[in-house]
Amino acid sequence: GENVEQHPSTLSVQEGDSAVIKCTYSDSASNYFPWYKQELGKRPQLIIDIRSNVGEKKDQRIAVTLNKTAKHFSLHITETQPEDSAVYFCGQGAQKLVFGQGTRLTINP
Amino acid sequence: EPEVTQTPSHQVTQMGQEVILRCVPISNHLYFYWYRQILGQKVEFLVSFYNNEISEKSEIFDDQFSVERPDGSNFTLKIRSTKLEDSAMYFCASSGRRAAFSGNTIYFGEGSWLTVV
């Protein structure tokens, strides 16, 4: 079935450094991998996504990489800023879209 | 920018009571979803809905839950007899002409916070 494991559960980095969050999935039929950012008390919002026919996608300071053979994908945030502090969820979809457990990212000034 | 809207934003209900959470998906979207987030935990899939029927549901979505699209704009989640463990934030979401798992962006509403006492 569809299951996605996300690590780490918490991550603290210095402002300006990079942050990397990783997810692994089990369903080889999955073909869509979004990342959502959720600020405290707010709705999850899509920040970047990748489809299975692409290995990497970048949008300014945010990038996602996908390794279909190993069944894992990662979110990379460079030059982190205080406003990047939030909970980040990875998702994967085959018959439905399910999310990982979330990573609480804290950017220290 | 179009948004998914949900009402109420917060509801407190007695255990055993019925609750209806309401959602207005983005107007040209065809796929609708309910997700649940218990405080401090992950966003959990409950159900997806397309063409006036359930297309997928999780093990959480048992007989106590039902969904309905009573008219052309609203999408509702009903919990027939609430339990303490139903206390959570419930997010409605929608996506366009393709299902979210096929790569169409899923847009979440602001959520309805349900507290069962």
Question: pLDDT tens digit string along A50-63?
Answer: 988 889 999 999 99
Q: Any chain B CB within 8 A of the CB of A43?
A: yes
Structure token digits, residue B93? 């979401």
Do residues B101 and A93 make contact, with C-beta atoms less than 8 angstroms apart? Answer: yes
Distance from CA of B96 to the nearest CA of A (A): 14
Q: Any chain B CB within 8 A of the CB of A100?
A: yes
Interchain contact, B100 vs A93, CB within 8 Å: yes
**Chain A residues with beta carbon closer than 8 angstroms to that of B111:** 43
Interchain contact, A31 vs B105, CB within 8 Å: no
Distance from CA of B68 to the nearest CA of A (A): 19
Q: Any chain B CB within 8 A of the CB of A31?
A: yes
pLDDT classification of A24: cutoffs 50, 70, 90: very high
Cβ-count burial of B28 within 10 angstroms (0-12 exposed, 13-18 middle, 19+ buried)? exposed
According to the model, what pLDDT value does residue A80 have? 98
Q: Which residues of B touch A (CB under 8 A)?
A: 33, 41-45, 48, 56, 58, 91, 99-103, 105-111
Q: How many CB pairs under 8 A join A and B?
A: 61
Residue B26 has pLDDT above 70, yes or no: yes
Cα–Cα distance measured from residue B38 to residue B64, given in angstroms and rounded to the nearest whole number: 17
Q: In 3D, which of B43, B40, B16 has the Cα closest to residue B109?
A: B43
Start-end of H helices in chain B: none
Q: Any chain B CB within 8 A of the CB of A18?
A: no
Q: Any chain B CB within 8 A of the CB of A97?
A: yes
Give tens-digit pLDDT for B35-88.
999 998 999 999 999 999 999 999 999 999 999 998 878 999 999 999 999 999
State the Cα angle at B10 between B61 and B66, rounded to 5°.
Answer: 20
pLDDT classification of A1: cutoffs 50, 70, 90: low
Q: In 3D, which of B28, B21, B108 has the Cα closest to residue B72?
A: B28
